[in-house]
């Protein structure tokens, strides 16, 4: 009992608790899940800088059961990785899981959903962003005309200022009228 080594220092755990929506138990569970993805490269004890430096590649991250069936899994990992490659450090992974947790406030999830759909990272959701999102959501199962109709309807409903793109405020307005958003935009660790 006295010989058991801690995965993190008490200070690290406290910092993680302050920076996330997780308890200590949740943080340790997340580290266990992260390590299970790549047990050879992720150490069982991360009391140094390993949490900020050791990465798990995107193709391995996509095998996580919580992401595996998500059509936006690649984009989720890209948004949360420091260099947009999709490879995640433990810190990146913990941020992603915290934002996607049920304890995360609605406004934070909405902000990240917007970033996930903003494929070209220009701060707006334009036609190409929405086309790409529709294609991801339907696994490419719609033809171009069907996608065009869907994007047209979204723009018709949401583009309040008729500038051909959705601002964050316009996107937020759409999400407020989507009751299933909070139910579907989360994961459990």
Q: Which of 131, 114, 113 is nearest to 123 (CA)?
A: 114
Answer for the pair 171, 154: CB distance below 8 angstroms, yes or no: no
> Do 91 and 14 sit in the same domain of this protein?
yes
- 94 and 116, same domain (yes or no): no
Q: Is residue 4 part of a domain?
A: no
Containing domain of residue 58, as a range? 10-99
* CA–CA gap between residue 26 and residue 116 (Å, rounded): 24
Is 2 part of any domain? no
Q: Are residues 63 and 132 located together in one domain of the fold?
A: no
Assess if residue 68 is contained within a domain: yes
Residue 5 lies inside a defined structural domain of this protein: no
Burial zone of 39 (CB within 10 Å; 0-12 exposed, 13-18 middle, 19+ buried) = exposed
Residues 85 and 160 in one domain: no
Provide, rounded to the nearest whole percent, the portion of the chain with pLDDT above 70.
97
Looking at the structure of the chain, the number of domains it has is: 2
Q: Which of 68, 99, 130 is the last residue of a domain?
A: 99
pLDDT band at residue 4 under the 50/70/90 scheme: low
Q: Is 126 helix (H, G, I), strand (E, B) or coil?
A: coil
1: in domain: no
Name residue, tokens 């660790």.
189
**pTM: predicted TM-score of the whole model, two decimal places:** 0.90
Q: Using one digit for the tens of pLDDT, what is the confidence trace for 35-94?
A: 999 999 999 999 889 999 999 999 999 999 989 988 999 999 999 999 999 999 999 999
């Amino acid at each position: 009992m006295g010989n058991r080594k801690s995965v993190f220092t008490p200070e690290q755990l406290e910092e993680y608790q302050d920076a996330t929506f997780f308890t200590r138990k949740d943080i340790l569970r997340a580290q266990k899940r992260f390590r299970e993805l790549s047990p050879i490269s992720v150490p069982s004890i991360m009391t140094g800088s390993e949490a900020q430096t050791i990465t798990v590649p995107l193709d391995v991250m996509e095998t996580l059961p919580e992401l595996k069936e998500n059509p936006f899994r690649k984009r989720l990992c890209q948004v949360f990785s420091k260099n947009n490659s999709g490879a995640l450090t433990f810190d990146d992974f913990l941020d992603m899981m915290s934002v996607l947790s049920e304890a995360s406030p609605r406004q934070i999830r909405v902000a990240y959903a917007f970033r996930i759909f903003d494929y070209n990272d220009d701060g707006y959701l334009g036609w190409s962003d929405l086309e790409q999102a529709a294609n991801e959501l339907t696994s490419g199962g719609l033809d171009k005309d069907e996608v065009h109709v869907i994007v047209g309807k979204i723009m018709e409903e949401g583009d309040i200022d008729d500038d051909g793109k959705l601002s964050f405020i316009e996107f937020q307005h759409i999400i407020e009228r989507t009751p299933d958003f909070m139910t579907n935009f989360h994961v459990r660790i």
